[in-house]
Structures are given as C-alpha cells and as structure tokens.
Amino acid sequence: MKILRQHCTGDCRGRPQPACVSQSFTRRGSRVEVIISRIPASLCPECGQSFLEEETARRLENLLRPFHGTRGHVPDLPPAKIYIDFEEAGKIQRAA
C-alpha cells in the first residue's frame, strides 16, 4: 500500500476512491500473519492500487508492532493468525 495521492501512480489516470479494505500482513522472520479488516483506504478503480493516509499507516504500524516487532528485531512468537478490526482497535486506542 502507498500513501494517498490525488492521482494514481505511473501511467494510470484513475482517481482513487474511498474504500474499506482488509489486508493480510506478514513479515520475513515472523511466523505470525496479521489480518486487519476495515482499514480506511482509497482504491483506484482503474488498476486496483490501494492508498493509505499517513495517519492510517502510522496506526497500522502500531497495531503490527507487537507481532512483527521493529526493524531488525522480530519477536519470537509461535505460528499464529491474528485478526484485528481496525475500527474497533481505534476505539480502544482512543479510550486508553
């Protein structure tokens, strides 16, 4: 995914439209797959490329960090699939 732009990338002339997407995140060295649903994004109707706002990208990183760690430091966790609802997680973060 890339940061939201007014127009799509490269030669594509599509205009990304607001959408809610689900995405699976994996990381080299980690056996944990994190599936995050209801991510507010923009999708290009022409080529299907998805775009994120910076704030959304930051929040996604925060959600993934406990499972995928930071650069060069991946936590040693057993194989697992984690499902996170982005919208619900946002409510918890704000309430804390």
The binding site for Zn ion (CB under 5 A) comprises 8, 12, 14, 44, 46-47, 49
Shortest separation between residue 49's beta carbon and Zn ion, angstroms: 5
- The conformation of residue 70, written as its DSSP 8-state character, comes to B
63: helix, strand or coil: helix
Residue 28 exposed, middle or buried by CB count within 10 Å (0-12, 13-18, 19+)? exposed
Token pair listed for 59: 């929040």
Shortest separation between residue 14's beta carbon and Zn ion, angstroms: 4
Q: How far apart are CA 89 and CA 31, in angstroms?
A: 22
Shortest separation between residue 51's beta carbon and Zn ion, angstroms: 9
